[in-house]
Amino acid sequence: MSNGPLTIIAITTAKPGKEAALGAAQEKLVTETLAEDGCLRYELHQSLDDGRVRIFVETWQSEVQWRAHMEGTAMQRFQASGVGDYFADFALHRLTKVAG
């Protein structure tokens, strides 16, 4: 586990017809997460090529703080809202900077 900043890329694909419901839940999650300790960046992007795909770009001060987010109130509320039924696909990548 790294002590430095951690970048997360989370790629979500909504089931057909669930784009709006998933998007609304994701946007609420962004608002809540930006106030969390250690959150340096928490952005949600929409694919221009596929309207069902949205990508979170996150940067956390440390992996410990990201893990706290994943177990925290905002994420628990997000998961409890039933969004799991809206996903067709999900991929999460933990990244560390190697150049630039």
Range of the domain at 70: 6-95
pLDDT in tens, 44-66: 999 999 999 999 999 999 999 99
Reported confidence tier of residue 4, pLDDT bands at 50, 70, 90: confident
Query: 0.85 cut: is pTM over it?
Result: yes
What is the number of domains present in the chain? 1
41: CATH: 3.30.70.100
For residue 77, is it within any domain?
yes
3-class DSSP string for the chain: CCCCCEEEEEEEEECCCCHHHHHHHHHHHHHHHCCCCCEEEEEEEECCCCCCEEEEEEEECCHHHHHHHHHCHHHHHHHHCCHHHHEEEEEEEEECCCCC
